[in-house]
Structure 1
Amino acid sequence: MIYLLLSILASTCIFLIFKLFDRFKVNTLQAIVFNYIVACLCGLLTYNKPINLIEITEEKWFYGAIALGFLFISIFNVMAITAQRNGISVASVATKMSVIIPVFFGIYMYGESTGYQKIIGIILALLAVYFVSIKPNSNLHLKSSLLLPFVLFLGSGIIDTSIKYLETTYVSENGIPIFSATIFCFAACIGLGLLIVKIIKKEFKFNPQSLIGGAILGITNYASIYYLLKALDHESIESSTIFTVNNVAIVMLSSLIGYILFKEKLSIKNWIGVSFAIISILLVTLA
């Protein structure tokens, strides 16, 4: 359970870091690319075996890691575009409600438990995500421009499901650092490709703050994935429980931190969502 808690804290810190990017005028794209480089280095440094590139390419999870690296940075960009065109609330709901995909995958693929208490907890978790994401003075119109939110929903769900499948099927306990490093490496390569295109088009202007912001984000990002994988590796907790608690707790903590540190207003619906989140976590974990 400690690994799940650490993953939740690290993932919540990611939202806090992004919030601070605007304040310190950090270039988001440059910071994201550098973040993947730092996250990759973290994986390589925490790997306790000699690094053999040939052996890594022969691992059964290798091509899955390439696909995840592509999905990581692609879905992140979709998230940014969705937030700009449809609003942050829509992007948040689409991302976090995608938890239903890995939850059903765990139940169908691994025969995980589906008692009434757990089902009620999952439904409350989805309601919690919805209510917490509706910010005051924001318009949440899920029917408008459904393509981007749907792609974000599907992509986020596929990422979580793929991580679970690869970790369970192919990744050894000692292989988590190098598996994570490989994912971040390919995400970094794609990100560097995007920056090179910007340089060629003469649209690139180096932002020194992005190095510091990217380094902090990279360490935090690596921690969130590493501890999530460690939690999924724990046989005593089902993946459907882990993903439900992980997603709803991140939404709840992010909202509370925004309220306490950044004086963000929470409506009655938001507080109802926080209440649902607490109840759903209790129901799912005790099921």
Structure 2
Amino acid sequence: MIYLLLSIASSSIIFVVFKLFARFKVNTLHAIVINYFTASTLGVLLYNGEIPLPSIPHQDWFFSAVALGFLFILIFNLMALTTQRSGLSVVSVATKMSVVIPILFGILYYKESLGFFKTTGIIIALIAVYLASVKSKDGVAFKKTDLIFPVLVFLGSGAIDTSIKYLEGKYLSEGDLPIFLTMVFGTAGIIGTLIIIGQILRKRFTFEVKNIIAGICLGVPNYGSMYFLVKALRNDAFDSSTIFTINNVGVVMVSTLIGILLFTEKLHLKNWIGIALAVISIIFVSLS
């Protein structure tokens, strides 16, 4: 349970850092790239023993880690594009509702048990995530022509969580986790660097120290959120559908409350209802 709480805390800190990005006018792409290299470096530092560089490309998880790195940076760019076209609420809902994909994967692929409490808790959790994530009175609205972008964010975010669960159970040993995450974050960082090089060549790049500082501040909790989530998934006390439900709803609930306390965000009635339902859903899923 401690790893699950640490995962929720790390993901909530990410929310705080992103909010500060806007306040200090940080270049998000540049900070994101530094964030990936920071997280990758943490993986190296946390690895216990000598790093087996020649054998890494021969690991069963190597190409999956590289593919996940590509997916990380792709989803980031899709989220940025969706925000520009449809607004932050659409991105927030699409990202958080994607939890349904790893939940269904755990139930269908791993034959995880379903009962009244878990089924009810998952349904309540999805409603809670939607209500707590929408920060406008009118809910989520976008043009039909832009529907493809939130759908891709939804599928991509769900694919990342599902892949992590699958690889964790199929290929990763306890000692492989830091190096695996190093490969994932490192790949994303390298791709992001290529994008920045393109900006330099087009003379659209401006170096600012604050972007580096912001990236480091983001990279530490970003690594923690992934590391602790995988550790939580390895706990036999809960199955993956329970872990993903509690983790996602917990992050929504905590980040919403942080928004109120630290950033004086004003919530609508449906947001408060979402928070209340989030608590109920966690109780129901835990009882299962």
Instruction: Give the structure-2-normalised TM-score.
Output: 0.97
Match of 1:226 in 2: 227
Match of 2:114 in 1: 114
Q: CA deviation at 1:138?
A: 5.7
Q: CA deviation at 1:236?
A: 2.1
Contact 1:35 1:216 in 2 (8 A): yes
Q: CA deviation at 1:22?
A: 1.9
Match of 1:100 in 2: 100
Match of 1:10 in 2: 10
Matched AA of 2:32:
I
User: Which stretches in structure 2 are left out of the alignment for 5+ residues?
Assistant: none
Q: What per-residue deviation string (whole Å, max 9, x for no partner) do you get for residues 160-185 of structure 1? A: 00000001100001111111111001
Matched AA of 1:190:
I
Shifted more, 231-240 versus 121-130: the winner is 231-240
Match of 2:165 in 1: 164
Q: CA deviation at 1:148?
A: 0.4
Contact 1:35 1:218 in 2 (8 A): yes
* Correspondences of 1:114-263 after superposition (within 5 Å): 114-137=114-137, 139-141=139-141, 144=144, 145-263=146-264
Q: What per-residue deviation string (whole Å, max 9, x for no partner) do you get for residues 16-40 of structure 1? A: 1010012222211111000000100
Paired residue secondary structure (1:33): helix
Does residue 268 of structure 2 align to residue 267 of structure 1? yes
Q: What per-residue deviation string (whole Å, max 9, x for no partner) do you get for residues 6-62 of structure 1? A: 000000110110100122222111110000001000000000021122211111010
Q: CA deviation at 1:270?
A: 0.5
Matched AA of 1:37:
F
Matched AA of 1:230:
K
Give the Cα–Cα distance (whole angstroms) in 2 for the partners of residues 18 and 65 of structure 1: 25
**Structure 1 residues 4 and 136, CA, compared in 2 at 3 Å: closer, same or farther?**
same
**Structure 1 residues 276 and 143, CA, compared in 2 at 3 Å: closer, same or farther?**
farther
Give the Cα–Cα distance (whole angstroms) in 1 for the partners of residues 104 and 260 of structure 2: 32
Q: CA deviation at 1:271?
A: 0.4
Give the Cα–Cα distance (whole angstroms) in 2 for the partners of residues 84 and 137 of structure 1: 19
Give the Cα–Cα distance (whole angstroms) in 2 for the partners of residues 22 and 92 of structure 1: 16
**Structure 1 residues 143 and 131, CA, compared in 2 at 3 Å: closer, same or farther?**
farther
Q: CA deviation at 1:102?
A: 0.5
Contact 2:103 2:241 in 1 (8 A): yes
Match of 1:276 in 2: 277
Shifted more, 117-126 versus 139-148: the winner is 139-148
Matched AA of 1:106:
G
Q: CA deviation at 1:143?
A: 6.4
Contact 2:86 2:143 in 1 (8 A): no
User: Which stretches in structure 1 are left out of the alignment for 5+ residues?
Assistant: none
Match of 2:25 in 1: 25
Contact 1:89 1:138 in 2 (8 A): no
Q: CA deviation at 1:5?
A: 0.5
Contact 2:70 2:187 in 1 (8 A): yes
Q: CA deviation at 1:136?
A: 3.4
Paired residue secondary structure (2:82): helix
Q: CA deviation at 1:142?
A: 5.5
Q: What per-residue deviation string (whole Å, max 9, x for no partner) do you get for residues 125-170 of structure 1? A: 1000111122135651266321001000000010000000001100
Give the % identical residues. Answer: 55
Matched AA of 1:219:
V
Matched AA of 2:206:
K
Count residues with an aligned counterpart.
287
Matched AA of 2:247:
N
